[in-house]
Amino acid sequence: MAVVALVALIVMGPKELPQALRAASKWVRKARSLAREFQSGVDDMIREADLDDARKAVETTKNFDVTKVLDETIDPTGDVRGEAADLERTARSDPPEPDRAVADQASTSDEPATPEMQATVVEHPLQVAPAHSLSPPAEDTASVETGAEDTSKRA
């Protein structure tokens, strides 16, 4: 740098050197300004491109159909959906009542009713301990006392 300054001093002379330095600094400022403007333009284009990408991502998210994606993932061929529709149709149709079917079968056949065809009555105990209970249910004290009184009256 010192060599350039010495050559400029010898070539231009001491009178013209300050004006030459002012002109050179003006050109350097202008070049830096243009470089800064170019850099900010490039930054703006990058920012817009990023915003466009973000805008596209928001649009795809807004139009995203979760059920469609789940259906495509879980049942790509549609077999499960078809089976579910068939089951629903079958469930909604009127199935024959099992009691009538058994009665019709028993009345039309000459054979006696089998145990499978006859109704079974299941008797439940009157007192059942709750599932969370550790002790059995208490006996009905009124019936126990009544029974004891009856035996004492007979004697």
Q: Residues 6 or more apart from 129 whose CB is under 8 A from it?
A: 135, 136, 137
Q: What is the pLDDT of residues 6-21, one digit of tens each?
A: 888 888 888 888 898 8
- Does residue 31 contact residue 25 with C-beta atoms inside 8 Å? no
Distance from C-alpha of 85 to C-alpha of 131, rounded to nearest angstrom: 40
Distance from C-alpha of 116 to C-alpha of 122, rounded to nearest angstrom: 15
The pLDDT value recorded for residue 138 is 64
The pLDDT value recorded for residue 113 is 57
Place of tokens 């019936």: 143
Q: What is the pLDDT of residues 127-136, one digit of tens each?
A: 666 666 666 6
